[in-house]
Structure 1
Amino acid sequence: MTLALAIADAIGRLQAVSDSPRQDAEWLLAHLLGYSRAQLFTRLDHPLPQGDLDRFKALITRRAKGEPVAYLTGEKGFWTFSVAVNSAVLVPRPETELLVEWALEWLKPLASPRVADLGTGSGVIALALTLERPDAHVTGVDLSADALAVARDNAAQLRAQVDWVEADFGEWLLMNGPEHDLIVANPPYIAARDPHLDALRFEPRMALTDGHDGLNALRCIIAHAALRLRAGGRLMVEHGYDQASAVQTLMTEAGFTEVTTRHDLGGQPRATAGLRP
């Protein structure tokens, strides 16, 4: 069987479970063979050895059951770099780059800013901010030791300097420590009864949902963030497409001013920020 036929067969198996079956199949085969996708395209008429075909079919079977491509390849691109990922961390999403872009925009006039990333997971937000702003003092906070192990490995691979703290973000906000110019967070915000959770069953549940209405983590962060922000500091959070109004209200009630929401590339309200007076 040629590479092209193997890909065609895989596409047929993935159409019912993936929005991008061709891309998934090509990424997985390229990963298996150690090729870039460009290299793969120049070899589509080459035969695929039986051993590689068997391994490819095994990967496609796992993908057909809903396992993310990033877990199967062990890596995911984000911002301008790639990171290692496994089932201890969420797969980084493109919409989260909005938070990075907005944070960098706000930090631009500040010298040596102090930034905290709450619920850092694989570390992508903290790492992006550190790589773009080497003068920044960035802290990544996560309750999961396994997630922090992934983040630390990614930082080492990218030669990025981040301080990692194992703590619940509510606990960290109540700790004595320096005030920050910016706190960013991509907390669990999916409601426990949201039907979309089933499609995300391979990812760590504690990073997806608070087990309630999806706002508990956001309530905690917004209620206590001022304790670790300097006057004039800013809080930025990612949230669900239908949570912007609730998050705006929470920030206003917590005393934040200049509360603003931005939309992701899909046109959905995705991140909200407020200023500590």
Structure 2
Amino acid sequence: MTDLRVAVRAATARLTSAGVGSPEADAVALAAHALGVSVSEVRKAMVLGAAAPAAYEALVEERAARVPLQHLTGRAGFRRLELSVGPGVFVPRPETELVAGLAIDAAGELDAPVVVDLCTGSGAIALAVKDEVPHAQVYAVELGEDAHAWAARNVADTDLEVELRHGDATQAFPELEGMVDIVVSNPPYIPVGMVPVDPEVRDHDPELALYGGSEDGLRTPVAVAARAAVLLHPGGLLVMEHADSQGELLPAALRRTGAWTDVSDHRDLAGRPRATTARRA
């Protein structure tokens, strides 16, 4: 038998030396995954079973190699949901919970909101909207084949009624044109040539979900916003995530189109510019 506290301390030291940003939390999460128990149970436990040390050590080594924690556990928390994720899909981030929250708050004020999630990835935003605003009609679209498969799995596993399609966000849902109350999107927005520093992002998130197609990263977001303008009725709301360097650029780009009014930007919990909202003119 192995002392769990010793194993977690050793794993924390290994992940710290590998540059992992949250070494202790990840060490505990991997122990929970190896043991098949909750994180709280790990923190209460005293020993690892006979088979667990080798499995745990293997997971720690993969995490030290900067494989995303969520790929190793197969799970990612998002607001009130636990989603399945893995290679081929963008892992939902805590800051995107703000983006989902803006859409959820707006939908909650309407009697029968129609909400569309463009570039849904794992389905995180669309599923969170349906989970927290059950009376909403929610639609989602994803272009990447692998990501769409993960989203379909999450729709099935959560048993939340979201109409999911596989296709291009800039052409999606022609039958809903002019009928949508809220369009929410976390599109690819990293400027071309700006390679992410974190290996978890650079080496494991799909490029299709990362790069915005231009030097400023806004080619894809602006194209997605143009589709949103077609889908929304006058006064309908757009909620769009962006890079922290685009807090002025994206609102300015939307204003220039003439399709939007009440354009404003919102900061995340870390105080960084994170999302733009606008009303269809």
- TM-score, with length taken from structure 1: 0.94
SS in 1 for 2:152: helix
1:52 corresponds to = 52
1:110 corresponds to = 110
1:10 corresponds to = 11
5+ residue gaps, structure 1, are none
2:226 corresponds to = 223
Contact 1:66 1:202 in 2 (8 A): no
Q: What is the rounded CA distance, in whole Å, between the counterparts of 1:185 and 1:197 in structure 2?
A: 24
Letter in 2 for 1:7: V
- Give 1:84-163 correspondences, 5 Å limit: 84-163=84-163
SS in 2 for 1:242: helix
Letter in 2 for 1:78: F
**Structure 1 residues 196-224: Cα deviation after superposition (integer angstroms, max 9, x where no partner):** 25521111111111343321111211233
Q: Aligned pair 1:249/2:266, yes or no? A: no
Q: What is the rounded CA distance, in whole Å, between the counterparts of 1:112 and 1:154 in structure 2?
A: 24
Q: What is the rounded CA distance, in whole Å, between the counterparts of 1:266 and 1:198 in structure 2?
A: 18
Q: What is the rounded CA distance, in whole Å, between the counterparts of 2:176 and 2:21 in structure 1?
A: 45
**Structure 1 residues 98-136: Cα deviation after superposition (integer angstroms, max 9, x where no partner):** 112111222233111111101101101000111111211
Q: What is the rounded CA distance, in whole Å, between the counterparts of 1:166 and 1:157 in structure 2?
A: 18
2:262 corresponds to = 258
Q: What is the rounded CA distance, in whole Å, between the counterparts of 1:67 and 1:33 in structure 2?
A: 19
Shift of residue 225, structure 1, vs aligned partner = 2.1
SS in 2 for 1:146: helix
Change (3 A) 1:129 1:184: same
- TM-score, with length taken from structure 2: 0.93
SS in 2 for 1:192: coil
SS in 2 for 1:56: helix
Shift of residue 259, structure 1, vs aligned partner = 0.3
1:25 corresponds to = 27
Q: What is the rounded CA distance, in whole Å, between the counterparts of 2:82 and 2:98 in structure 1?
A: 17
Q: Aligned pair 1:207/2:209, yes or no? A: yes
Task: Choose the corresponding residue for 2:271, options 252, 267, 270.
Answer: 267
Contact 2:237 2:277 in 1 (8 A): yes
Letter in 2 for 1:91: V
Change (3 A) 1:47 1:34: closer
Letter in 2 for 1:276: R
Change (3 A) 1:228 1:26: same
Letter in 2 for 1:267: G
Contact 1:2 1:48 in 2 (8 A): no
2:70 corresponds to = 70
1:233 corresponds to = 236
Aligned CA RMSD, in angstroms, stands at: 1.5
Q: What is the rounded CA distance, in whole Å, between the counterparts of 2:242 and 2:155 in structure 1?
A: 25
5+ residue gaps, structure 2, are none
Identity across the alignment (%): 36
Q: What is the rounded CA distance, in whole Å, between the counterparts of 1:26 and 1:47 in structure 2?
A: 12
Q: What is the rounded CA distance, in whole Å, between the counterparts of 2:171 and 2:14 in structure 1?
A: 45
Letter in 1 for 2:115: V
Letter in 2 for 1:239: H
Q: What is the rounded CA distance, in whole Å, between the counterparts of 1:197 and 1:216 in structure 2?
A: 22
**Structure 1 residues 152-189: Cα deviation after superposition (integer angstroms, max 9, x where no partner):** 2212222100001111111227x353421111000111
Q: What is the rounded CA distance, in whole Å, between the counterparts of 2:255 and 2:131 in structure 1?
A: 32
Q: What is the rounded CA distance, in whole Å, between the counterparts of 2:210 and 2:54 in structure 1?
A: 33
SS in 1 for 2:77: strand
Between Structure 1 and Structure 2, how many residues are aligned? 274
